[in-house]
Structure 1
Amino acid sequence: MKSHRSIRWMLIMWNMLLLAAVLITLLFLHYHLQRTSAINRIDATLQSTLIEVLPTVAPPDARRTGFQSRFDRPPPDHELPNLGPQNDEVSMLETETQQFLEQLPDDNLYLMAWDPEGRLTHHIGQTPEVQYTDYEQLTEDRMYIVRQGARELVTRHPTGALVVIGKPLDEVSRQLRNLRGYLILIGGGIFLLGFGGGRIMIGRALKPIREISRTAEEISAGAHSRRIELADAPKELESLAGTLNRSFDHLDAAIENQKRFSADASHELRTPIAVVLAQTQAGLKKVRTPAEYQLILEACLRAGTRMKSMADSLLDLTRIDGKEAPLNKTVQSLNNIVFQTVEDAAFLSDLHPVDFHSVETSLNADVDETRIQQILMNLIRNAILHNPDGCPIHVALTPRNGFAEITISDEGSGIPEDSLARIFERFYRADQSRSREQGGAGLGLSIVKSLVEAHGGKIDVHNDGGAVFTIRIPLA
């Protein structure tokens, strides 16, 4: 079996794709949130630092008219002081700004400032190699940008002065690299754990299917008594296992019936064939009188008649089972059909009276009249053959729960209890010796059962003193 067509691998691959998609999404979101949080912290630091140092990089006149020290409340954005050098105060301002930056917890900050003419007025900290022209294209008053591996806050004052305060991203990049490594390790571990666990769970879930397949292969190889054992199987497979086991039971029964049928048919045919061969050989050994030849031919005729009867019965059963003998069903009164059959059966034996009891209401059913008569005649004939002279036979017709119930009973000794369960099996005879003397092949009751079921009905047998056969046919 190709791996890509395996149910197990398809389930594993689907689960792994889902797990990978979920892991990648969650880990990416976590990484993105951590990166955004780190950048936001840097931006907050840059913003708060700019507010503090902005007065120190303002021109002296702006400081006098603006805010007096870096500890005063900063002005709104539209009231930012003018920036730019003012002669001798530049070095003092740089010194003050440098001292302020050195007092901050973060010593990686740097600051640059240019006057409106583009002259560098402040250059504090480890500043990158940039020029005023690098920021000329910026149009907003305040912008956060990333340049040369650093995060910068660029402020353009209404006077034209430019202040840049920044922080290298080396530490953040290192932390994010470590975070990426941890996330990859965690994601890989979860993925491998999910793969292993999923493989085990899917394997356990598919184990009953493999058991079903293995059992089917064993049955196919000849172990017809094997059955699926799924006591610990999921509920979804319990019904399937039960259905398959019942199918295997039917298959086993059919195979056994076929074996028994073949053996019984061979056994039943052996006797008449042996009779024909023996009589023919005896007639050919020497010249015989016409009377002797007549006896031989009569014996062969009886044997041939028995074989023909058996062949006809087998053919009838085969056609009924294969639904190749369609019933000519019409809605008719069962009262009339049963009554007429009982009248005809009365001529079978003068020593076995047959009586009929029926309700006055007409019971109509969709039946094949000829087949119903065949069923009843077969059962009545069996009652006559298997009971002593003088034993009466009773036939009754009554309605019951939407069915027409026909019972054929006698007052004999009944059927042996160990034969009741097998009485409808083909070639089975409860009284072997008596059936052989009368030429029975043990197929009559099998035909009866098949015909009743072909009408959608059921037939049962039990003992109540004598044997009682009960036929139920659905009412129209």
Structure 2
Amino acid sequence: MWNSLVVIALTLLSLFVARQAMVYTLEYETKDLLEGEIVELELATKQFHPDMRLVEEEFSRKILSHSRNEWFAGLFDDTGKLIWKSELFPDSFESDQATLNPSDQPHAANEKFAFRQADNAIACWHSFQLDSGDVFTIVLGEPTDFIGRDLWSLTKVLLWIGLAVVVIAPVGGYLLARSSLLPVQEIVETTRKLEPSRLEARLPIRGSGDELDQISGEINSFLDLNARYLNSQREFIANAAHELRSPLTAIQTSAEVCLAKPRTADDYREQLETVSEQCQFLRHLVNQLLELAESDARLKVNKVDFDFSDLVQKSVSIFEGVAEEKGIQLSINVPVAISCSGDPQKLIQVLNNLLDNAIKFSPPEGTVSVNLSSRDHEIDFRISNEGPGVDSLLLERIFDRFYQTDPARTHEQTGNGLGLSISKAIIELHEGRIRAESSGNLLEVSFQLPKSKI
């Protein structure tokens, strides 16, 4: 409603401005035309003087050519006496010689055009001096009735336009608003259809490229991201439930065995050891799930500047016994004093995960290589091991949660598939990058982190 009123007000204002502009234009064109015709009469006077009969004939011819507009003219001498006038010359202009005739102002001769309006007429006069020294003043004018007629015609047109705007603007505004709001209504209806069980609904893109299309595109991008997130969460919950089911089943089975009938102390000990092992696995799994939840929440890490070389050596020392027991050789290339900015407790978890996987999947008498280097503004850590290798098609999923390259293996052999996911999340929290590459029977995992600024 208010929009329509604003449109009507602006339209009426525009019509008023157009009318005033028309008035100004008509007056300006009239004055310009009178000045041009007076110049021609001045030239004729200079040409035919002193034969005033020829001068009067030229004046009469000029007035006759504009008889349709009822032009009038008069010629005054330097004393202010009216020498000649046309039939329609107004008496008020003739009697007001002092005002109309500036010949008593010699400096104005040959320089000035003056205008007067009286008795519904507009007149222009111009004084000029001949070579003989005589000064004449020409008065040329026309009635202003034609301006009034043209203005009245224009006013009627403008009134009809204004009336049409008053009638059409509200209706047109309503129709325009309705058509403009149709895409918004589609957005509302689509969003109402969105449910966790129906994530495929998307807003229509009309292809116009306007703001509504841009909004729809942004909302669709958000819906795509939300759908991927919800699907990921569903998969995560399903995998977590599956991982929890196995140890819980083992615990329940051990408890049922103990309760089925009286047993020896050794039997009870064996079952309790199974329960303890499964509880440890559950605690480890729950801790890893909490780590993933923390990374999903994008919690800030407590960054400090520290010697990353020492952290790598510390992690290697933890697994030296395991590697020696399995007959695996550790090849360590770690320069001293390479500083890093990050959370040492979280980063050593990454190093432990990578070393544990490398040793776990290496064959007996195999080699695990650990390399650390510094370049530009980042540090580069690489760990590789001999083993079954990973198909290039599977490398893209190696950091997915609960993903295992060989599902047939047991938890003792492969773990639960969360270690690399947690490592990737921690590295990304440190604004770093991590990737895996496989060539033949060699698998290499590398990550890069920003160097310390000190």
CA pair 283-151 structure 1, distance change in 2 beyond 3 A: same
Judged with a 3 Å threshold, the aligned counterparts in structure 2 of structure 1 residues 210 and 438 are, in CA distance, closer, same or farther, namely same
Determine which of 199, 214, 236 is the counterpart of 1:224. Answer: 199
Q: Indicate whether 1:342 and 2:341 are aligned.
A: no
- Whether the 8 Å CA contact 1:358–1:397 is kept in 2: the answer is yes
| Alignment-mate amino acid for residue 433 of structure 2 | K
Residue 247 of structure 1: how far off its partner (Å): 4.3
Distance 1:261 1:13 in 2: 58
SS in 2 for 1:33: helix
| Deviation digits for residues 399-450 of structure 1 (CA, Å, limit 9, x no counterpart) | 3443221111111121233321111111222222324344822211111111
Partner of 1:32: 24
- The match for 1:471 is 447
Structure 2: 5+ residue stretches without partners: 42-51, 60-73, 102-114, 126-139
Aligned residue among 253, 276, 286 for 2:251: 276
Instruction: Give the counterpart letter for 2:231 in structure 1.
Output: E
The size of the alignment, in residue pairs, is 399
What TM-score, normalized to structure 1? 0.64
Map 1:182-261 onto structure 2 (within 5 A).
182=157, 223-225=198-200, 232-234=207-209, 247-261=222-236
Residue type of the partner of 1:338?
A: V
**Alpha-carbon RMSD:** 5.3
- Aligned-residue offset at 1:254: 1.5
Match of 2:79 in 1: 79
* 8 Å contact from structure 2 (residues 370, 383) kept in 1: yes
Q: Look up the equivalent residue of 2:80 and give its one-letter code.
A: L
Tell me how far 1:242 sits from its aligned partner: 7.0
Flag the 1:18–1:180 CA change in 2: closer, same or farther, 3 A.
closer
More moved, 430-439 vs 445-454: 430-439
1:459 CA drift (Å)? 0.7
Quote how far apart the aligned CAs of 1:281 are.
3.6
The reply to whether residue 303 of structure 1 matches residue 278 of structure 2 is: yes
2: CA distance between counterparts of 1:470 and 1:376?
11
1:34-433 alignment runs, 5 A limit: 34-35=26-27, 37=29, 71=56, 76=76, 79-81=79-81, 101=87, 109=88, 112=91, 140=99, 144-146=116-118, 150-151=120-121, 170-182=145-157, 223-225=198-200, 232-234=207-209, 247-324=222-299, 326-332=301-307, 334-349=308-323, 350-358=325-333, 360=335, 362-433=337-408
- Mapped to 2, the partners of 1:304 and 1:114 lie a distance apart of 120
Partner of 1:445: 420
Query: Partner of 1:383: helix, strand, or coil?
Result: helix
Alignment check: 8 A CA contact 1:342 1:354 kept? no
Cα 1:343–1:114 change in 2 (3 A) is closer
Q: Percent identity?
A: 23
Conserved 8 A contact 1:426-1:442:
yes
Larger radius of gyration: 1
Q: What amino acid does structure 2 have at the position aligned with 1:345? A: F
Q: Hey, what does 2:437 align to over in structure 1? A: 462
- Tell me which amino acid in the other structure corresponds to 1:151: A
Match of 1:430, SS? coil
SS of structure 2 residue aligned to 1:180: helix
For 2:22, give the aligned amino acid. H
Check 1:79–1:193 CA distance in 2 against 1; reply closer, same or farther (3 A cut): farther
Change (3 A) 1:272 1:186: same
Aligned letter for 1:30?
M
Q: Which moved more, 1:283-292 or 1:195-204?
A: 195-204
TM-fit CA distance, 1:261: 0.9
How far off is 1:196 after superposition? 11
For residues 386 and 14 of structure 1, the distance between their equivalents in structure 2, rounded to whole angstroms, comes to 77
Is the 8 Å Cα contact of residues 355 and 394 (structure 1) preserved in structure 2? Answer: yes
Q: Contact conserved, 1:111 with 1:166, CA < 8 A, in 2?
A: no
In 2, Cα distance between equivalents of 1:324 and 1:306: 26
For residue 259 of structure 1, what is the amino acid of its counterpart?
A: R
1:399–1:182 Cα change, 3 Å: same
Q: Which amino acid aligns with 1:469?
A: V
